[in-house]
Amino acid sequence: MENQELDLVKIQTDVEKLTQLQATKEELNRIVKISSAITVPDLTNQGQVAIAKESRLKLRKVEISIENEAKSYRDVFTAISKKISCSERELLAITSPEIERIEAIEAKAKAIEIKNARIALLTEQREELTKIGDEIEVEDEELLAMDNDAFWNYKNQRVANKNDADRLAVEKAQLALEAEKEAMQREKETQEREKVARIEAQLEAEKSLALAEKEAEIRLQQEKTETERRVVAERERMEQEQKAKEEKVAQEKIEAEKLEKETQEKLENQKKYQSWLKENNYNETEYKIINGEKEINLYKLVSVFKK
């Protein structure tokens, strides 16, 4: 190979000498110098313009000669280059299949090496994926198909998806809590309206009772006056009637007192209830009231996590 390289260098030197163009830089510079002395002071003077044109045609004739000579050399080298390329393809056609076969063997060996390296990382990769906590199952073959960058991109995407899911869950919980607070507020407002309605009903009942008692008293007074004007013969009957009416009034009074007592007990219970709430530092934000059949339970919100 070393001798061949030396021969090629010599051949290249010899070819460069043989293909040297006949025209020289010195000769061309001399011709151009003569042409550059030609000027056309008067562009309307056809004689002067003709002299310049003649000089241009001579220079172009020299260029054509140079181009033809160069083309003849290039044609020779083009033919030689084609023959060399043909020989190159024939020779490479012998070695290329063997190179490709060995490259295929190397590629398979490299694939096995990569797979074994990835198998060694499976346990670590699965630990990384387990830390995410999204409970997504992935087959070993899927992980083995990923290079290091692909695996970390896959893991990061799962982490992002888990974070989005957690955020949505927190938002959902917050919405549920707000809905519960609104429901508690509506329940409280309903209880307040019912309380006001009960108090108004009680006042109306007391007012009606007082009016009834007043009317009864007036009627009794009128009847008493009327009885005094009656004859003595009717006094005994009137007294019996009066007694019956008094018993009725007494019964009504007992019932009224009973109703008043029950109402008072309800008011006392309501006061005890309010006192109980106050003793337990009740507020609408931190507590929830659950009405049972025989008791009222008070629950306290422990904590709220805000993301």
Helix ranges restricted to H, the chain: 2-18, 25-36, 46-132, 140-144, 148-229, 235-279
- What mean pLDDT comes out for the span 79-91? 88
The per-residue pLDDT for range 127-185, each reduced to its tens digit, is 888 888 888 888 888 888 888 888 889 889 989 998 998 899 899 989 998 888 889 88
So what's the pLDDT on residue 1?
43
So what's the pLDDT on residue 156?
92
So what's the pLDDT on residue 104?
93
Cα–Cα distance measured from residue 29 to residue 21, given in angstroms and rounded to the nearest whole number: 15
Is it the case that residue 99 has pLDDT exceeding 80? yes
State the pLDDT confidence band at 2, using cuts at 50, 70 and 90.
Answer: very low
CA distances, 206 to each of 200, 202, 203, 253, 288 (Å): 10, 6, 5, 12, 34
Is it the case that residue 30 has pLDDT exceeding 80? yes
The per-residue pLDDT for range 191-223, each reduced to its tens digit, is 888 888 888 888 888 888 888 888 888 888 887
Cα–Cα distance measured from residue 109 to residue 71, given in angstroms and rounded to the nearest whole number: 52
Cα–Cα distance measured from residue 268 to residue 264, given in angstroms and rounded to the nearest whole number: 6
Angle at 88 between CA 84 and CA 90, to 5 degrees: 120
Answer whether 23's CB lies under 8 Å from 66's CB. yes
- Looking from the CA of 21 toward its CB, the CA atoms found within 13 Å total 18
**pTM for this predicted structure:** 0.36
Is it the case that residue 292 has pLDDT exceeding 90? no
- What is the rounded end-to-end Cα distance, in angstroms, of the chain? 75
